[in-house]
Structure 1
């Protein structure tokens, strides 16, 4: 049986958040609920989700500001804005801020569920084959297919590390940034070096490039 999809719900209305959580769990999601933008930002940066649902009028950090901060940090998880602000200008603002979809309150539960399924399908199609040196990474199966040879199986953390680098092939990530984004339960930055070693051993030394004094990036190839 496939693992349940992970969903981040950022909604400050306690009653609505509880209702949405029950609905989404019934749709097969594992749901984390954040009641303000600051908590939503923390969860969005430190955990991996399949989809995000967020309100606009949030305490601490406004919803579109939250989304913009996530996008600026390289978080590409598809997001649906669910807001009482529903005129065309509001929708345009939401989409321009980085949302993939926008629904107005009140909303139809079946339509919300269908839109979330559509977001997940599009996201899966988009990330199905990420380029890595000498081959491709399939995030869904956690396999690297090289030009020559059988597919290479990766562990969950190996895949998460390679996915991060492959999504941002020109960006250099410090050990601290990788620790925050991939190894959220670890405290020692040495775990990053360990998993870089694992990836190089499994997929090839050129997979991850070391940038002296700065960190790591995707290798050339």
Structure 2
């Protein structure tokens, strides 16, 4: 495929993560998307894609299924376990029904088989962006809320409080399931899977309470934590 300008037009400042180990294909897709006004970050393997996906907000992620270091399905699972909500288009060299089902069951929003036409890729990215913008951009926390776009917390009086990536991820997980009590072990595996001790959850609950309000996270004695209020 030669780099061409995609039809239809991407929205300026839309951010896309492209995780693709084929250098030629990655350059073609990235060049075309940038020509439409998207901000594109590139990753050559799953580990780099995981790092970018956890540290930067994206509208859409394009993930190759067959990646070095970390397979595309595993990458998607890890991102979703950390409450990353970007829409995902999985790119794959094979197009069997079973493979498509596996990709969609893993959490991908769409599935595109290689080789593909850039015009079709463009249309699918636009569709995923529309779906992302149609979704909720905030999660209520009592009289305040968690801003999913700016990735900060807003108090009842309108004050915005900056959160670290891990603080935001932990609070987002709690806010997305406000009536669920999560054990410390469950929260550690979903937010801090590299940590060996569940006590790291206590540390970040302390940080959130100190920054926001002591009631933002409720302790359920003997069970774990659940969302409180602002």
Which residue of 2 is the match for residue 120 of structure 1? 129
Q: Any idea what SS the aligned residue of 2:135 has?
A: helix
For 1:46-125, what aligned pairs fall within 5 Å after superposition? 46-125=55-134
TM-score (normalised: structure 1): 0.71
Which residue of 1 is the match for residue 228 of structure 2? 219
Shift of 1:102: 0.5
Distance 2:224 2:30 in 1: 39
Distance 1:195 1:92, change over 3 A: same
Which residue of 2 is the match for residue 185 of structure 1? none
In structure 2, list runs of 5 or more residues that go unmatched: 1-10, 195-202
Q: Quick one: which of 15, 24, 27 aligns to 2:36?
A: 27
Shift of 1:57: 1.4
Distance 1:216 1:34, change over 3 A: farther
Distance 1:128 1:86, change over 3 A: same
In structure 1, list runs of 5 or more residues that go unmatched: 181-189
TM-score (normalised: structure 2): 0.69
Distance 2:84 2:137 in 1: 17
Which residue of 1 is the match for residue 142 of structure 2? 133
The answer as to whether partners of 1:27 and 1:113 remain within 8 angstroms in 2 is no
The answer as to whether partners of 1:8 and 1:32 remain within 8 angstroms in 2 is yes
Which residue of 2 is the match for residue 199 of structure 1? 212
For 1:166-205, what aligned pairs fall within 5 Å after superposition? 166-169=175-178, 170=180, 171=182, 177=191, 196-200=209-213, 205=214
Q: Any idea what SS the aligned residue of 2:210 has?
A: helix
- Equivalences, count: 204
- CA deviations on 1:37-78 (whole Å, 9 max, x unpaired) are 222222223332222101111112221122122223332321
